[in-house]
Amino acid sequence: MIEQATRQRIVGYDLARSIAIFGMVVHHCVMAMAADEHHPRWLALLMAPFDGRPAALFMILAGVGITLRSRKVSNDAATEVELQERRILRRRGLVLLALGFLNLLIWPGDILRIYGVSLLIAAEMIRASNRQMLLLALSFVIGFFVLLSLMNYEQNWDWRTLTYHNLWTLSGSLRNLFYDGFRSIFPWTGFLFFGMWLGRQDLADPGTNRRWLIVGLSVMISAEVISLICVSLLSGGDSQRQEEIHALFGTGSMPPLPLFLSGAGGLAILVITVSIRLTNVWPKSRIIASLVATGQMALTWYFAHIYLGLGTIVVLELVGNQSLEVAVMTGVAFFVFAALASSLWKRSYRFGPLEWAMRQLAG
């Protein structure tokens, strides 16, 4: 029974990871293809939660994965198991950091660099207490606000084209990585440490799962309601003031302010708990099995959606000239293809292509 519960718990996390892939693919297709991301209004509202939330879910799941890998680490003196886990995390962190900088040449929204640095830090903290994990998560959030008070967040951005200037200078590269990139170490690594803490909670237990489902839903709804109230009360007729109010009290991911962070974290908890429930209720569902396979090949599909998916959009000259409906349907179609391909691949191979390569390179 313990082995079965553990297996289902892991499968639930894989299902949640596939949902993050879905959100990432659809959001990036909209960014690349849509001539107008705000119309039709109903679809734009439906797409709003896709901004930054998949990345937050990925980071939290990465933290959960570290905790699940480290379950055999002793609380006593350092063991060979612990040392091996640290070495693997360090090697994977370095590989992802290198891949991220290479990917940055093509894809300005790269998040692998953030994963890489986060894994290097996490490697030293796998034996941290629950309290220390939460304090670490909070420290990255506080660190971001300290930087925000000292440095101009918009300094290198051209918001009309979402272009980051001075990226390949030393100062620009460091700022982009740690502070003001699409995703940055501060505060996003905080999600990873929260995930490491969350991975220590027995979400496969029905009672624990139910409590955290309610917590996630409550936090997500509260953040959105507070945002709506603040924006409606504080926005005036001046368009510049409206932009400022939306930046401060909206739930957009740039800059990642408290309402976004809490809303994204709440949604991630909700997705994870529901995913675990679904794998328990329908353990033999072919659809869920296909989605689980997709989640287990997350690294492969991260690169595939950039070079195969978005690359095809560029070649076919579909950038910035399609309706929002077409952009969304393109993302959905690519994800369906990914799920079918993953299901077929996993029938013959245990790991995805890039997952296998990562294990060969870093363990």
* Whether residue 46 sits in one domain with residue 6: yes
Last residue of some domain: 221, 252, 281? Answer: 281
Interval 76-100: pLDDT, tens: 556 777 888 999 999 999 999 999 9
Q: Which of 166, 200, 234 is the last residue of a domain?
A: 200
Asked if residue 176 has pLDDT above 80, the reply is yes
pLDDT of residue 162: 87
Same domain, 196 and 57: yes
Query: Residues 69, 195: one domain?
Result: yes
Residue numbers of the domain that contains 242: 208-281
pLDDT at residue 75 greater than cutoff 80:
no
Among the candidates 200, 218, 241, a domain finishes at 200
Task: Give percent of the chain with pLDDT exceeding 70.
Answer: 94
pLDDT over threshold 50, residue 1: no
Mean pLDDT for 274-278 is 96
- φ, ψ of residue 79 to 5 degrees: the values are -110, 170
Res. 73 pLDDT band, cuts 50 70 90: low
- Degrees, nearest 5: CA angle 63-65-66: 65
Query: What size, in residues, is the chain?
Result: 363
Mean pLDDT throughout 203-209? Answer: 94
User: C-alpha distances in angstroms, 133 versus 27, 107, 220?
Assistant: 30, 31, 22
8 Å CB contact between 275 and 13: yes
pLDDT band at 236 (very low <50, low <70, confident <90, very high): low
pLDDT of residue 79: 78
124-170 pLDDT tens trace: 999 899 999 999 999 999 999 999 999 999 999 998 888 999 999 99
Same-domain check for residues 141 and 252: no
Domain count, the chain: 3
CA pair distance 208, 193, nearest whole angstrom:
20
Q: Do residues 230 and 338 share a domain?
A: no
Look at the pTM and tell me if it is higher than 0.95: no
Judged by phi (left if over 0) then psi (alpha if -120 to 50, else beta), residue 320 lies in left
- List the single range of 4-8, 53-57, 182-186, 259-263 with lowest mean pLDDT: 4-8
Task: Check residue 7 and give its pLDDT.
Answer: 42
- Is residue 40 within 8 A of residue 318, CB to CB? The reply is no
Q: Which two tokens stand for residue 118?
A: 């986060």
Considering the domain architecture, whether residues 145 and 175 belong to the same structural domain is answered as: yes
233 with 138, same domain: the answer is no
Residues 59 and 139 grouped into a single domain: yes
Q: What is the pLDDT of residue 8?
A: 40
